[in-house]
Amino acid sequence: MKKMNYQNVKGTQDYIGREEVVKRNIKRTLEDVFIQYGCKPLETPILNYTELLASKYGGGSEILEEMYTLSDRGERDLALRYDLTIPFAKVVAMNPTLRMPFKRYEIGKVFRDGPIKEGRYREFTQCDVDIVGVDSQIAEAELMSMALEAFNRLKVDVTIQYNNRKLLVGMLKEFGLAEEMTNKVILVLDKLEKIGVNAVISELVEKNLSSSIIDQIRTFLTDERNTTFSYFESIAKRSEMVNQGLNELRDLESYLDMLGVETQCIFNPFLARGLEIYTGTIYEIFLADKSINSSIGSGGRYNNAVSGLMETNEEFPTVGISFGLDVIYAALSKADNIQVNSDIDYYIIPLGKPKESLLVADKFRKQGFKIELELGNKKLGKALDKANKENIPNVIIIGEEEVKNNELKMKNMDSGIESIEPFRFV
């Protein structure tokens, strides 16, 4: 008989005890910030029609290769969602009476059959905020400010890199790049920070671009002036797309300056965000110490998704941001920046009195306290050691003498102070 494989599927993992507590604390922190910024909760199905997720308003060809597909008993073509963005666009398209602007958050599992690396798995949790119905860059500024507040509460130092797809696409067009090659080149440029200029140029050469286009892209990548808006002014005079992107970036910068977060938000003219869905401002969040190379959050403006699904000319300006819960957990673990306070109020240690201890636990729980009752017959020393290691603030010791005297022995684990409290066992 073949032995059962009870290992985790590659790209998935269990979070046990303290690990899951940490993840839930991260989730609560993000959710608290989302609510403070006026976001309403939303939950969408994990299962979707393949046609929806594979639409041209979805993640693009690169993500579609990683999509998990299946069929049900009715032979319908279904897929597991690979992000929360298109399901959100679907909700807006299906509910035309939604009051605009509509701002929502969703925290949920998504699935991608892609490469596995630190903080990146095939089953992972995304925490998204999206705003539909706001055309101004004030929406981007609010989401970027919200991200900085969230990571400040998590005690994680981050920087946000931002760019505009109109600016980048407009520049490539000025270099003479054919429209059908734009997304392919953008996917290569998206690797710039990871592989460097020379490797990017080598990949572009393999795509059979002309030497003129290659030379212009190389100059663009290596010119030290390219991180200033003034670098693009002369090109903006002859390119409407570059001009629009530049104006949107300047508008965004004015909001960031007003908020006083401009030093944490850095303009990166080569930031590409490979997904084809993006139409305007884009951004990625990175650890300031670069201990993890990949981004721990990202997003941007995608104005065509809702109207595209509805097949209408009506405009639905939309912008969103997404945080990877698993990669944030990895970042905190790497920095050894995880502090876990126990949710337990009292840890009850029975010393040969299990029934009486169960009674005490029941009465304390009915008063609203969070109680852990020792069920493993630990000796007192080992039980106190457990309380210390798990940061449980208070223990209650119940032995023969305590039951006889109708009292509880209480100990505060921080101060070490012991006290006796009356309790009627009968």
Q: For residue 275, is pLDDT > 80?
A: no
Binned at pLDDT 50, 70 and 90, residue 305 comes out as confident
- What is the DSSP track for 333-366? HHTT------S-SEEEEESS-HHHHHHHHHHHHH
Q: For residue 416, is pLDDT > 70?
A: yes
Question: pTM of the entire structure?
Answer: 0.86
Which of 325, 329, 333 shows the shortest CA–CA distance to 125?
325
Binned at pLDDT 50, 70 and 90, residue 309 comes out as confident
Q: What CA–CA distances, in Å, run from 138 to 7, 143, 298, 319, 323? A: 47, 9, 17, 10, 20
Under 8 Å between Cβ of 407 and 420: yes
pLDDT per residue as tens digits for the range 343-369: 899 999 999 999 999 999 999 999 999
Q: Alpha-carbon torsion 181, 187, 191, 192, what sign? A: positive
Q: What CA–CA distances, in Å, run from 217 to 171, 174, 197, 200, 220? A: 9, 10, 10, 10, 5
pLDDT per residue as tens digits for the range 174-228: 999 988 888 888 888 888 878 888 898 988 888 888 889 999 999 988 888 888 8
pLDDT per residue as tens digits for the range 57-81: 666 667 788 999 999 999 999 999 9
pLDDT per residue as tens digits for the range 119-132: 678 999 999 999 99
Burial of 61 (0-12, 13-18, 19+ CB in 10 A): middle
* pLDDT (0 to 100) of residue 69: 93
* pLDDT (0 to 100) of residue 237: 93
In terms of DSSP bridges, do strands 394-398 and 281-287 run parallel, antiparallel, or are they unpaired?
Answer: unpaired
Task: Give every CB contact of residue 37 below 8 A, 6+ residues apart in sequence.
Answer: 103, 129, 142, 146
Which of 30, 46, 200, 207 shows the shortest CA–CA distance to 128?
30
Residue 131's DSSP bridge partners are 103, 319
Q: What CA–CA distances, in Å, run from 338 to 16, 32, 103, 349? A: 15, 18, 31, 27
Average pLDDT in the chain = 90
